[in-house]
């Protein structure tokens, strides 16, 4: 039986159809050959095939029957779960990397989830909306500096790798996309209570016209 995977508009899904870009995204984790990889939202497996060809210990999440039929080597490594609700500590006993062509409407939530496991995720890469990628990599003082910028840069070095045009997707999104890579920095602690830091940052950016004292 053959399965057809159709992108769901409600989830902000746009399936990548350009194999060269899929290959380039898979290449972002070449320095982590011995680290297990978790791919989020594999869709038709366009990125999955390159990760497998590189010999990565790969687990995929939010998948369907299509991958079970077309990638038998993933048997036992397909989780039909909601990534945002997963207890990742039960999946991996040590470090692991995260990669994916992330759904636009939950990409920020995905990176906040990565932050929860920052001590076990040395690298996270993938494709997101260009505007979100620019915010994540924005330097202090820029107009695009945001909550994501501060919280992610506290723990990760962020690289904006390249821009992806609309026509390489099915269906084409109305915005450009970008590939980014987060690499864990050497910071162990912030010098303050972490929960308070998060709350102050979120409150400050949610009320940009207020004065911080």
**What is the number of other CB atoms lying within 10 angstroms of the CB of residue 101?**
26
Q: Assign 1 a pLDDT band (cuts: 50, 70, 90).
A: very low
Q: What percent of the chain has pLDDT over 90?
A: 65
pLDDT at 110 over 60: yes
Which of 42, 23, 14 is closest to 100 using CA atoms?
42
Q: Which residue has the higher pLDDT, 1 or 129?
A: 129
pLDDT at 36 over 90: yes
Which of 183, 153, 133, 161 is closest to 32 using CA atoms?
183
Segment 140-172, tens digit of pLDDT: 888 888 899 999 999 999 999 999 999 998 778
Q: Where are the beta strands (DSSP E) in 66-175?
A: 78-79, 97-101, 123-129, 156-164, 169-170
Segment 194-211, tens digit of pLDDT: 889 989 888 888 776 666
Of 31-40, 56-65, 114-123, 152-161, the poorest mean pLDDT is in: 56-65
Name the H helices within 40-121. 48-53, 65-70, 107-116
- What distance in Å separates the CA atoms of residue 208 and residue 203, rounded to the nearest whole number? 9
Stretch 88-111: mean pLDDT? 94
């Amino acid at each position: 039986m053959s399965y057809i995977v159709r992108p769901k508009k409600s989830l902000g899904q746009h399936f990548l159809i350009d194999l060269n870009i899929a290959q380039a995204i898979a290449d972002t984790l070449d320095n982590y050959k011995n680290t297990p990889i978790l791919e989020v939202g594999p869709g038709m497996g366009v990125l999955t095939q390159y990760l497998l060809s590189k010999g990565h210990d790969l687990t995929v999440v939010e998948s369907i029957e299509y991958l079970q039929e077309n990638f038998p080597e993933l048997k036992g490594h397909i989780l039909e779960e909601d990534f945002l609700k997963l207890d990742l500590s039960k999946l991996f006993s040590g470090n692991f990397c995260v990669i994916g062509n992330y759904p636009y409407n939950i990409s920020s939530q995905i990176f906040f989830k990565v932050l929860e496991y920052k001590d076990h995720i040395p690298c996270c890469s993938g494709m997101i909306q260009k505007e979100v990628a620019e915010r994540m990599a924005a330097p202090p003082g820029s107009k695009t500096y945001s909550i994501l910028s501060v919280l992610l840069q506290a723990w990760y070095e962020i690289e904006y790798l390249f821009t992806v045009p609309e026509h390489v997707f099915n269906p084409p999104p109305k915005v450009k996309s970008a590939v980014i890579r987060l690499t864990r920095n050497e910071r162990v602690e912030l010098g303050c209570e972490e929960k308070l830091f998060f709350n102050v940052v979120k409150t400050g950016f949610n009320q940009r016209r207020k004065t911080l004292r």
